[in-house]
Structure 1
Amino acid sequence: EEAYFIWHLMIDAQHQGRGCGRAAMEAALAYIRSKPFGASNLVRLTVSPENAAACHLYQTLRFSPTGRADGDEIELERVLD
Structure 2
Amino acid sequence: MHTRAVYCHEEVIGFLMFVSPDDDDPPGHCQVWRFMIDHRRQGQGHGGAALALALAQIRAHPDVRSIEICYKAGNANAKQFYTSVGFVETGLDADGNDMLAIIELA
TM-score (norm 2): 0.66
Residue 5 (1) aligns with residue 24 (2): no
1:48 matched to 2:72? The reply is yes
Higher relative contact order (CA 8 A, sep 6+): 1
Bigger Cα Rg: 2
Gaps of 5+ in 1: none
Q: Which residue of 1 aligns with 2:104?
A: 79
Which ranges in structure 2 are unaligned for 5 or more consecutive residues? 1-20, 22-26
Report which of the two has the higher share of helix: 1
Equivalent residues, number: 79
Q: 1:30: which partner in 2? A: 56
SS in 1 for 2:52: helix
How high is the TM-score relative to the length of structure 1?
0.84
* 1:14-25 equivalent positions in 2, closer than 5 A: 14-25=40-51
Q: CA RMSD, aligned part only?
A: 1.8
User: How big is the shift at 1:25?
Assistant: 1.0
Return the structure number with greater strand share: 2
Shift of 1:66: 1.7
Aligned-residue identity in percent: 29
CA drift of 1:51 comes to: 2.4
